[in-house]
Structure 1
Amino acid sequence: MSYSIQSIVALRGVFPCELPDALEVVELKGGVEMIPLGTIAREFHGIPFLPLTDEGDVELPSALTQLCTQIAMRGDFAYIEAEVFGGAGTQAYVLFSGGKAGSPIVANDAINYALQLLGVRTGKDSDEFESVGLGRHRETDSWLTHSPSIQIIEP
């Protein structure tokens, strides 16, 4: 089984009403919202695919940091990514607090830690990842309402 996700998550009300181009907000469970960084968004904003888990970078690429600071208006949020293939995988997050990026954390349960820091609470039979519904789709583009085959033509 394979799984990958690359997105920005926050509690409801943190993201601005108007987002930068090629981005959309998706409602998750438990009062959490997500901005999936699918194929179109990554290409439009010059963001690499899974820079922390797939590429092994030790800091966020500048294009991703710039995008995150554009949406850092009303509270804390986290950039998250994960890649699982054949049962083995890696997760990572960077917490943005007060408009500033923290250090990247790469760990087996990194997304659960990020969601905990944002205030997500779970029932006794699930973890944070499961409680907000991040397992609903197996790859980032599946979360989006538009087709990843749409071509964005820049002026």
Structure 2
Amino acid sequence: MEAERFGGVGKQRAVVWADGSLALGPLDEPAKQRLSRAVSPVSRALRRLGAQRDVGKDEFESVGLNRHRTNEDWIADAC
């Protein structure tokens, strides 16, 4: 999964592999297109992986992926 946003504009891409085969995707959300969070590529991929939404949140938030905004922050958190 890949998500990039800046100033409300960005894109998402996702694929899911299962047992060595492509199970979903590739999914691509073009830049400047506003999709419902429920049908975004990242949300769809997370659902395929078993994530469930909490009330008022999408799958991305529900699994805690919104904790950091940069790769550097994720790396620092893991150390």
Match of 1:89 among 1, 6, 10: 10
Distance between the aligned counterparts of 1:100 and 1:82, measured in 2? 23
1:131 and 1:91 map into 2 onto residues whose CA distance is 18
Among 79, 104, 127, the residue aligned to 2:26: 104
Q: Percent identity?
A: 40
Paired positions, count:
67
Compare CA radii of gyration and give the structure with the larger one: 1
- Point out where structure 1 has 5 or more consecutive residues left out of the alignment: 1-79, 147-155
Match of 1:30 in 2: none
Per chain length, whose mean CA-contact separation is higher, i.e. which structure has more relative contact order (CA < 8 Å, sep 6+)?
Answer: 1
- Ranges in structure 2 where 5+ consecutive residues have no aligned partner: 30-34
Displaced runs of 4+ in structure 1, greater than 4 A?
A: none
TM-score, normalised via structure 2 length: 0.73
C-alpha distance in 2 between matches for 1:141 and 1:101: 29
Quick one: distance in 1 between partners of 2:48 and 2:73? Answer: 26
Counterpart check, 1:120 vs 2:51: yes
RMSD value over aligned CA atoms? 1.6
Instruction: Indicate the residue corresponding to 1:42 in structure 2.
Output: none
